Structure 1
Amino acid sequence: MKKVFLMAVISLGLLSCGGGQTEAQVGQYTTIEVQELYNAGSVAKGEIVEAEIKMKNTGDYPLVIAKISAACACTVSEYDQEPIQPGETTIIRASINTDETGNGVIRKPISVSANTRPSSTVIMIQATVLD
């Protein structure tokens, strides 16, 4: 009788853990749709380039952005740190202070690490800085 009771408790515990899968779990990879080049056009030296990049979760599991890193100190990025559910879109905001860049065409990469394959996606922000 004790064995039956113990098995029932273990089974109930396992079944209660497999609910609606709204949270991301280790090993769940998803896919994304993102514009990998953001062209800000021509800007004056000293202007702040503000980029808003849409990223859509096109997979079956929540998208978890682990980290966003920029190639230089002149780029700052903001992103939603909560999991993005399948079918939903998030915005990555990045800015480039052109006082800290050269003139002419600039290209600043932002690397997004997430639960995708490959795990890193590079988004390029481009602008032509005029003196």
Structure 2
Amino acid sequence: MKKVFLMTALSLGLLSCGGGETEAQVGQYTTIEVQELYNAGSVAKGEIVEAEIEVKNTGDYPLVIANISAACACTVSEYSEDPIKPGETTIIKASVNTDETGKGVIKKPISILANTRPSATVVMIQATVLD
């Protein structure tokens, strides 16, 4: 339901941009290429894992990232809200504060909600937190 609401909000936002041409149009779906696992390797407890996730628009229409959500409060995402043209890439920055995680192997999912089918793509940030 949340995904439907976000896509509706994105669609209404694009429709309300009157007066000028918009790069992305409602109903245009594209495809993306993204590495679905970011492995940070071994890190010390308390270290901040900085992940840079490259997303490439492999489709024929502009890629519009509507939202990026994390499964926990310890992950923060930063991304461009501008449409990404076909063939171009963007970087999503995410960080995991290992002070807020357990020890051992951790996996923190990031969901990218965009004008793709399916609308959500999950990227897993993984690390081994050492004492």
| TM-score exceeds 0.5 | yes
TM-score in terms of structure 2 length: 0.83
Give me the whole-angstrom Cα distance separating, in 1, the residues matched to 2:71 and 2:22: 33
**Residue type of the alignment partner of 2:115:** N
1:112 matched residue in structure 2: 112
| Gapped regions of structure 2 (runs ≥ 5) | 1-20
Deviations 1:36-91 (A, max 9, x none): 00000000000000000000000000000000000000000000100000000000
Q: Is the 8 A contact 1:22 1:85 kept in 2?
A: no
1:3 matched residue in structure 2: none
2:63 matched residue in structure 1: 63
Give me the whole-angstrom Cα distance separating, in 2, the residues matched to 1:68 and 1:24: 19
**Runs of 4 or more consecutive aligned structure 1 residues displaced over 4 Å after TM superposition:** none
1:50 maps onto 2:50 in alignment: yes
Give me the whole-angstrom Cα distance separating, in 1, the residues matched to 2:85 and 2:33: 13
2:28 matched residue in structure 1: 28
The count of aligned residue pairs is 111
1:40 matched residue in structure 2: 40
Instruction: Give the secondary-structure state (helix, strand or coil) at the position aligned to 1:77.
Output: strand
Instruction: Give the secondary-structure state (helix, strand or coil) at the position aligned to 1:99.
Output: helix
Give me the whole-angstrom Cα distance separating, in 1, the residues matched to 2:56 and 2:23: 17
**Residue type of the alignment partner of 1:78:** E
Give me the whole-angstrom Cα distance separating, in 2, the residues matched to 1:22 and 1:41: 41
Give me the whole-angstrom Cα distance separating, in 2, the residues matched to 1:32 and 1:111: 13
RMSD over aligned Cα, in angstroms?
0.9
Instruction: Give the secondary-structure state (helix, strand or coil) at the position aligned to 1:125.
Output: strand
